[in-house]
Chain A
């Protein structure tokens, strides 16, 4: 099945009412196209032609957070000579949201080469975000001599293993998974037995009616095996999610939006803020993808997630930096 078929099967496999929500519904602040999806009950959102952000303003009970990913601070090649500038643009976008997010999730590759100065610069710039940030590492954050020591010293406090953890907010259970350590030749990424055991323990205390949000760097499902865009033992984690009524799995790593819905589980991959990568199999290698400079910002972006208290609705809104 090629990628076009895959995209088609995702949309055609959905019920009609949900499919109607899977379309371009709004412009965000008049500056760009927002592609929006509602996982759960879509009608309130789909009916609102005024725009995605209206959902965030739906009422005082709404709770929202933002995902940013793949900042690659330190990258300086043709695909984006100024990733700091585009990261700053993303941060400006977050600050301009009508409803202040409760927190931000950064799904990895904060830096490009795990250099101390890259971590320092990233931290300085990310201070501009209006709420606390929860991090998971990308493989680019593990390139220091200590193999991830710098990341864990900075962001690993209170986490387990190589940086995994969970927390609860507004009745939603959040799980941060790490799949960028101990990569093996010829294999996809791994969570590892220890982390899977911890995950089973962690979820055993959570009721099936609690909305679950899982975030990790490399997609848990195999987006494209030849490029290593998947997690070998991800299915073992996904199996643990199936009893939950609402599950949203957020990834980074592939620098483009790809979604998949499987039962109650919505898998969503965010754009990066640094540089785009080609669609799976559409280029000889994963890139970076060189696009005309005046189009670059339409390939970069972030994701806003809004939950409505009392319901199990999660609205995912992708916005580009244009």
Chain B
């Protein structure tokens, strides 16, 4: 019985330690201004709001390649295929709403809202 109690106490102590470790292992997904992270076939943040003139960087943390391509027919921005940990940057100079997607996995979509620079 004493052992079980000890085990429970040990579990209680060790659990938060493990939980604290987990986010540390996910440091790559921390929020960086004007950076869009690709993980698990998703863009994060999915919607980014920036002033005009901002350089936005996408970085791919998946084991498969992804692309970042303007969804509109004007194709103002279009990356090549980004392999794991590759990144792509584009500077948005004109205000407006820009929808984009991954041409390999078209269910992956995101938006950049560009406001007039202050």
CB of B105 to closest CB in A, whole Å: 6
- Bound state CA distance, A112 and B64, in angstroms? 9
Question: Given A77-B63, A185-B71, A186-B101, is A114 in contact with B81 using a C-beta cutoff of 8 Å?
Answer: yes
Give per-residue flags for B15-52: 1 if the beta carbon is below 8 A from chain A beta carbons, else 0.
00000000000000000000000001110000000000
A285 adjacent to B109 (CB under 8 Å) = no
Q: How many A-B residue pairs have CB under 8 A?
A: 56
Query: B65 interface residue, CB < 8 Å from A?
Result: yes
Q: How far is the CB of A204 from chain B (nearest CB, A)?
A: 32
* Chain B neighbourhood of A112, CB < 8 A: 65
Contact indicator A185/B106 (Cβ below 8 Å): yes
User: Which B90-118 residues have C-beta < 8 A from chain A?
Assistant: 99-101, 103-107, 109
Cβ–Cβ contact A228 & B107, under 8 A: yes
Using known A-B contacts A140-B104, A185-B71, A185-B109, determine if residue A284 contacts B40 with beta carbons closer than 8 Å: yes
Chain A, 106-121, contact with B by CB distance < 8 Å: what is the 0/1 string? 0000001110000000
Chain A residues, Cβ within 8 Å of B109: 185-186
Cα distance A112–B103 when bound, in Å? 14
CB-defined contacts of B101 to chain A, threshold 8 Å: 184-186
> Contact: A285 with B106, CB < 8 Å?
no
The reply to whether B81 and A143 contact each other, CB–CB distance below 8 Å, is: yes
What is the bound-complex CA distance between A311 and B41, given in angstroms?
A: 45
- What DSSP secondary structure best describes chain A's contact surface? loop
Contact A285–B63 (Cβ < 8 Å): no
Q: Quick check: is B84 within 8 A (CB to CB) of the other chain?
A: yes
Instruction: Mark interface residues in A130-162 (1 if CB within 8 Å of B CB, else 0).
Output: 000000000110010100000000000000000
Measured CB to CB, the nearest residue on chain A to B40 is A285
* A77 partner residues in chain B, CB cutoff 8 A: 63, 84
Counting CB contacts under 8 A, is A78 at the interface? yes
Given contacts A113-B83, A188-B106, contact A285 B65 (CB under 8 A): no
Q: Is B80 on the interface with A (CB-CB < 8 A)?
A: yes
Q: Give which listed residue, A114, A139, A227, contacts B107 with CB less than 8 A.
A: A227
A residues in contact with B84, CB < 8 Å: 77
Main secondary structure of the interface of B (DSSP, over half): loop
Interface size in chain B (residues, C-beta < 8 A): 22
The chain A residue sitting closest to B106, CB to CB, is: A183
Bound state CA distance, A284 and B63, in angstroms?
14
| A288 beta carbon closer than 8 Å to chain B | yes
For A183, the chain B residues whose CB sits under 8 A away are 103-104, 106
Are A228 and B105 in contact, CB atoms less than 8 angstroms apart?
Answer: yes
Q: Are A285 and B83 in contact (CB under 8 A)?
A: no
Check A187 for interface membership: any CB of B closer than 8 A. yes
A280 to B116, CA, bound (A): 43
Distance, CA A288 to CA B64, complexed state (A): 7
Which A-chain residue is minimally distant from B103 (CB atoms)?
A183
User: B-facing mask of A11-44, CB < 8 A → 1, else 0?
Assistant: 0000000000000000000000000000000000
Contact A145 B40 (CB under 8 A): no
Interface string of A205-237 (1 = CB under 8 A from B): 000000000000000000000111000000000
CB B96 to nearest CB in A, in angstroms, measures: 16
Which residue of B41, B65, B100 is within 8 Å of A286 (Cβ)? B41
Contact B107 A226 (CB under 8 A): yes
Known: A143-B80, A227-B105. 17 other contacts (CB 8 A): A79-B63, A112-B65, A113-B65, A114-B81, A143-B81, A143-B104, A185-B99, A185-B101, A186-B107, A228-B107, A285-B40, A285-B41, A285-B42, A286-B41, A286-B105, A287-B63, A288-B64
Name B residues whose Cβ lies closer than 8 Å to a Cβ of A. Answer: 40-42, 62-65, 67, 71, 80-81, 83-84, 99-101, 103-107, 109
Q: Which 7 A-B pairs have the closest CB atoms?
A: A185-B101, A185-B71, A285-B40, A285-B41, A143-B81, A77-B63, A228-B107
